[in-house]
Structure 1
Amino acid sequence: MNGDTTGRVAVITGATGGVGAAVARTLSRAGYSLVLTAPSMDKLSALAAQLKGPCTVVEGNLSDESLPETLLYAALDRFGRCDICFNNGALFEAGIIETVDIERLSSMVRVNVEGSFRVAYVFVKHFVSEGAGHLVNVSSVLGSSVRPTPYAATQRAIEALSDALAAELVDSEVLVSCIQPGLVKTGLHHRWEIAREGAQGTGYPLEPEDFARMVLFILEQPGLRHKEEESAGAEISASEELAVGRDSNEAEAEVEEHRDSESAEEETSDAAEEGIVQDEI
């Protein structure tokens, strides 16, 4: 166990997928105490065993209305505080009009919009009551571009929510950030082949660890704590802003990172939070 702790406590949803697990490992190494949630307890336990610092795991789905409160109480019970919410769980569904499964599409909307909104408001309410805290929402480059997928609409909703919360909180010490990842190499791509690096303008995919460095930068860089930069609801494109030794234009991805919810084993409730065709992402 790492004795060099920051004293800060972070809750991470979608914790066992590629991005969520990378963020958990990075924050743990940096001295954060963590509360992790995902649908699979086996995967949560495996991730917890890799971490350097203290953590609590909570099995659950974002489709469960009670999960946000459960996560907050877990942080308060174990660590006595909660400073950060990394609002990351999501599901991806797609299909043409003639063949799309409307029930799965509706489940995506419930998880990506309603589930994420519930997480955001539960934690922001707590942060307001404490006078400080940081909500980090994860969206997508699709949320600010015109793409023929309903998934993009759910990500646009996360960005609009981030702007609305940040505007309401502009005079407080509560911070709101929204990160828009581009292409990130996650487990999703064992079904979806990643284009060759640099081919056809798709840019260079980021590793989940690249994205995790962005999250740590946001949480710890003093400049991003100023109200005009952070509480104004800055939307940050991971593919543009990450210092990974590439030109930012090269790093922008046309293919989007369909991110973190974790359990591929379950065909029903777990699948509602996991990603395309029940794949782990």
Structure 2
Amino acid sequence: MAIPRILERRGVMEGGTQGRVAVITGATGGVGAAVARTLSRSGYSLVLTAPSMEKLSALAAQLKGPCTVIEGNLSDESLPETLLYAALDRFGRCDICFNNGALFEAGIIETVDIERLSCMVRVNVEGSFRVAYVFVKHFVSEGSGHLVNVSSVLGSSVRPTPYAATQRAIEALSDALAAELDDGEVLVSCIQPGLVKTGLHHRWEIAREGAQGTGYPLEPEDFARMVLFILEQPGLKHEEDQSIGAETAASQEQAEGGLSTEVKEEVAGYRDSESTEEETSDAGEKGFVQDEI
């Protein structure tokens, strides 16, 4: 078992969140980093994890408030508890888990690498499930907390892929947890955006904005503002059955510079994901994208 490298960074708390503490997996990808910066500016203390300590350190240097960064990979079954214990040890509490890490494997039946495909399933499903249950179990013991799972519009897409199957699993898990916790103070959200401008799409051609009904790709900062909106709703309960189209949200964000009234009214059910970054490795040339985890 690899021993995680941990780095602490002191900072000045700002904002009005009363020192809330959030753990973010996939922290150095496009969305993960945007969420980290937004929450830090809003007064949250953070525990961040991703595979690269270099990227984590660079992100930590951009943050306003205190944070702890932990180099790790969701294939390590001990990582979720390491993250939780780091939050409790450093800050004395943990209020939010932003469950955001994933792998992406693409390939047709004749050429797909089964080992890489299986690795994606272990990380996206088993790894994310471990994160979810470790943190929800803690939240239940404390009587409060908020798990935000990151899925993808591909989880309910008419273009099925193995990656889409793993994202659908996250959505089913979110529904199951929300149903089990229905009358409690522990919250579960699952956000499912469409196209987001992150490193995951470095190898994809992004359609011209607005062309052929594709809508407008979200900027990571748009996504981060929506996450903050969800986290700061007083008395927010489980709204996982509501939904709003990613293209609509993206159009509203870019047109108005923030969440519209329509988006705000339904944002609790706006399912979330696609917040990762491509690793610069030989694997990328072979169609395997290592997302931030």
TM-score by length of 1: 0.87
Cα distance in 2 between the residues matched to 1:22 and 1:217: 14
What are the equivalent positions in structure 2 for 1:170-249 lying under 5 Å apart? 170-222=182-234, 225-226=235-236, 230-234=237-241, 236-237=243-244, 239=246, 240-241=248-249, 243-246=252-255
Identity rate of aligned residues, in percent? 80
Give SS of 1:231's match.
Answer: coil
Distance 1:238 1:84 in 2: 25
Q: Are positions 1:264 and 2:279 aligned together? A: yes
1:147-176 CA distance string (max 9 Å, x none): 231111111100000000000001110000
Following superposition, the deviation at residue 280 of structure 1 comes to 5.7
Tell me which moved more, 6-15 or 143-152.
143-152
Shift of 1:36: 0.2
Correspondences of 1:58-73 after superposition (within 5 Å): 58-73=70-85
Question: Matches of 2:56 and 2:68 in 1, distance apart?
Answer: 9
- Aligned partners of 1:179 and 1:235 also within 8 Å: no
Q: Separation in 2 of the partners of 1:215 and 1:11?
A: 13
Give the AA of the match of 2:196.
V
Q: 1:76 to 1:89 in 2, by over 3 A?
A: same
SS at match of 1:244: helix
Count of residue pairs the alignment pairs up: 264
Shift of 1:260: 3.6
Separation in 2, partners of 1:55, 1:97: 43
Alignment check: 8 A CA contact 2:22 2:47 kept: yes
Paired amino acid for 1:231: H
Partner of 1:3: 13
* Long gaps (5+) in structure 1: 252-256
List 4+ stretches of structure 1 deviating above 6 A: none
Corresponding residue of 2:288: 277
Give how far 1:189 is off. Answer: 2.9
Q: Aligned with 1:50: secondary structure? A: coil
Partner of 2:104: 92
Shift in Å at residue 220 of structure 1? 0.6
Separation (CA, whole Å) in 2 of partners of 1:127 and 1:34: 17
Partners of 1:190 and 1:71 in 2: CA distance:
29
Q: Which secondary structure state, in structure 1, belongs to the residue aligned with residue 174 of structure 2?
A: helix
1:122: which partner in 2?
134
TM-score, reference length from structure 2? 0.83
**Residue aligning to 1:254:** none
Moved more, 235-244 or 121-130: 235-244
Structure 1 residues 86 and 280 mapped into 2: Cα distance closer, same or farther (>3 Å)? closer
Contact 2:41 2:65 in 1 (8 A): yes
Deviation at 1:187, TM superposition (A): 1.8
Deviation at 1:266, TM superposition (A): 5.3
Distance 1:158 1:280 in 2: 16
Query: Which residue of structure 1 aligns with residue 31 of structure 2?
Result: 19
SS in 2 for 1:183: coil
